[in-house]
Amino acid sequence: MRRAKISVIGAGNVGATCAHWAASKELGDVVLVDIPDKVGVAQGKALDLACCGPIERFDANVIGTSDYKDVAGSDVIILTAGIPRKPGMSRDDLIQTNVRIVKSVSEQIAEYAPESVVIVVSNPLDAMVYTAWKATGFPTNRILGQAGVLDVARFRTFIAMELGCSVEDVSALLLGGHGDDMVPLPRYTSIHGIPVSQLLPQETINACVERAKVGGGEIVKLMGTSAYYAPASASVQMAEAIIKDKKRILPCAAYCDSEFGVGGYFVGVPCVLGSGGMEKVLQIDLDAGEKKLFEESVSHVKDLVKVVQDAFPELK
């Protein structure tokens, strides 16, 4: 039986941690790719991770490389390449540089792993998913953005902190773009089936919503660069759902046309993930307030995509 293969593009903090989670979960063989100037870093981190196998009791071949030929046959590719945020920067500030990087990487993916499912992590997320889609030419079901899983995890964490309960018992949902105008949905949030509104006052719920929206920025301010443990964990949860055909329902940046009336953009919505990649978008009812916030978030995604199209006409 062929072992699954996961390639991670970018051997920085997020990429290396993705490789770590994927190997430790024995999802398959792992290829860690970086630019030639950093190939020693990719090779060193891959070798270091491989040496964890005897201790942590996992079997996975882990290699580091700068040759995209090594991603051939990948089932899933996690694209983390790009510059991270620094204090005072928004995700949008990264757009010009990271479009160039993601476009170049995506063209290599299309050449060497044309049947893979691509999970984009690079920021600004919604614009980078669009860039990867256009540059690869892949069908929309095989291009996804990792954002909602991370954002929901933060929201669940903050709710659990307020309640003093296990994060495992908190269920939540979130829509929209990966930015400060994301839309956490308290109405769809529960603690072991109990609506959160029965357990926390509205002002506390609102505070958790606002903290989730700026959760990434909070971490940047604290340590001077973007988060990486949770983004990597979220990316690998998506990869696992695809590789194992688990049919998990996870919030992801997925292509929506008629769905939610989006009109042909990648935005955060609940999806079914399986061996076909994004197999279905699940539509849910939104009240007037939720719909307004979602439309505002989608409008910002459209603005980002227009910036990409204006700067890179070949991606229209």
Q: Which residues are catalytic?
A: 178
d(CA 3, CA 18): 18
Q: Which residues pair with 8 in a beta bridge?
A: 32, 78
Tokens at 136, concatenated:
């690869």
Please answer whether residues 230 and 121 qualify as being in contact, where contact means their C-beta atoms are separated by less than 8 angstroms: no
Q: Which residues pair with 77 in a beta bridge?
A: 7, 118
d(CA 232, CA 222): 19
Tokens 């953005």 identify what position?
145
Instruction: Tell me how far CA of residue 237 lies from CA of 76, 162, 289, in angstroms.
Output: 12, 25, 30
Please answer whether residues 114 and 143 qualify as being in contact, where contact means their C-beta atoms are separated by less than 8 angstroms: no
Tokens 């070949």 identify what position?
314
What residue type is assigned to position 73 of the chain? G
Helix (H, G, I), strand (E, B) or coil at 281: strand
Tokens 């929201």 identify what position?
155
Please answer whether residues 9 and 52 qualify as being in contact, where contact means their C-beta atoms are separated by less than 8 angstroms: no
